[in-house]
Amino acid sequence: MIKIQNITKTFGKIIALNNISLEIKDNQILGLLGPNGAGKTTLMRIINGFLRQDSGEVFIDGVETNKDEMIEIKKSIGYLPENNPLYEDMNVYEYLEFISNSRKVENFRKRIKEVIEICKLQDVVARNISELSKGFRQRVGFSAAIIHNPKILILDEPTSGLDPNQAQEVKNLISEFKKDKTIILSTHILSEVEEVADYVVIIHKGKIVAEGNIADLNKMVLKNNIIRIAGRFNKDLESFIPTVIRGIYQISLVSESSDGIKEYEIETEKDLDIREDLYSLSVREGWTLVELYKTSASLQDVFRELTRE
């Protein structure tokens, strides 16, 4: 378990992390979400010992980090830094050999072979890292992070800068590897968190503004119901609907196509579902409906709401 207590970190006048506390359970996949510059990278760097906090403590399995350069703790962490820096003048095998020797991986030749297979690097093993495409580079970084089979895996923006296929490959690697592992993953891509993480922490300006699983977070922001209705109407819904259905807060016209199909967004009281009423109303009025659905707030809405300037 990783326990983070009241961590504060400043860089000059900038407060990167402001009194953050967080618990990460074993085998949890934690998604750190936040706009650029929110403090995600700083938090990850403090956990893995690259940076030192100004105040507060981090405990990994009960051991406080930042003691004696935390050599023992570093052994159980695999880390893929943001932008994935690599030694450009080495070939892939040399690089993996350096990392596995540094981490004292037993039977390292066999293990290098294994990670090369897992990360599908067979074709580029002898290539210089400087010649690799971004997708391959990311896989090299990932294989270096897992080569010692770490208990904790910290991935800082593992899919940034990759095309959708490459990003999917990295996500597949994460899912493949997640068994019996604690994974901390930072990103500003929301769908990624929804796909991979089972617990989400949203950081904004160095503070945790929300945490929980995705359903919890949705509830936090989704205060009202929103219904969307589209079709051909012979009345102006904005003035008409509130006179026949109760509990309506607001109706607004979202779009109108050239062939006369209008789309409205209707905001109602929480826990009120007016879809049946709307359907009966359309039948009665002779409207042609093309769409009628209830929207749920996406993580994106949660994110926007919480990190609004």
Partner 1 sequence: MDKNNVFSIIKKELRLYFNSPIAYIVVFIFLLLSGFFYSRPLFVYGYVTLRHYFDLLPLFLLFFVPAITMRIFSEEYKTGTIEIIYTLPFRKIEILLGKYISSISVVIFGLLFTLIYPISLIFLGKLDIGMTIAGYIGVLMLVVFYTSVGLFSSSLTKNQIVSFVITFFILFIFFILGKLGMFVGDLASYIGIDLHFDNFVRGIVDVRDIVYFLSLSFLFLYFTYLSIQKEK
By CB under 8 A, is residue 134 in contact with partner 1?
no
Q: Which is nearer to partner 1, 69 or 285 (CB)?
A: 69
Residues 6+ apart with CB under 8 A from 143: 96, 115, 116, 118, 119, 121
Among residues 64, 89, 195, 236, which is the contact residue for partner 1, using CB under 8 A? 89
By CB under 8 A, is residue 71 in contact with partner 1?
yes
Closest to 228 in 3D by CA, of 271, 291, 302: 291
By CB under 8 A, is residue 164 in contact with partner 1?
no
List the alpha helices (DSSP H) in the chain: 40-47, 71-75, 92-102, 108-118, 134-146, 164-177, 190-196, 214-221, 237-244, 275-285, 299-306
Closest to 306 in 3D by CA, of 198, 199, 220: 220
Residue 35 Cβ vs partner 1, minimum distance, rounded to whole Å: 21
Bridge partners of 250, per DSSP, are: 267
By CB under 8 A, is residue 69 in contact with partner 1?
yes
By CB under 8 A, is residue 126 in contact with partner 1?
no
By CB under 8 A, is residue 98 in contact with partner 1?
yes
By CB under 8 A, is residue 151 in contact with partner 1?
no
Do residues 299 and 190 lie in contact, with contact meaning Cβ atoms separated by under 8 Å?
yes
Do residues 77 and 48 lie in contact, with contact meaning Cβ atoms separated by under 8 Å?
yes
From the list 45-53, 158-166, 219-227, 266-274, the region that binds partner 1 by CB under 8 A is 45-53
Do residues 175 and 163 lie in contact, with contact meaning Cβ atoms separated by under 8 Å?
no
By CB under 8 A, is residue 86 in contact with partner 1?
yes
By CB under 8 A, is residue 119 in contact with partner 1?
no
By CB under 8 A, is residue 52 in contact with partner 1?
yes
Residues near partner 1 (CB under 8 A) are: 45, 48-52, 69, 71-72, 74-75, 77, 79, 81, 83, 85-90, 94, 98-99, 101-104, 144
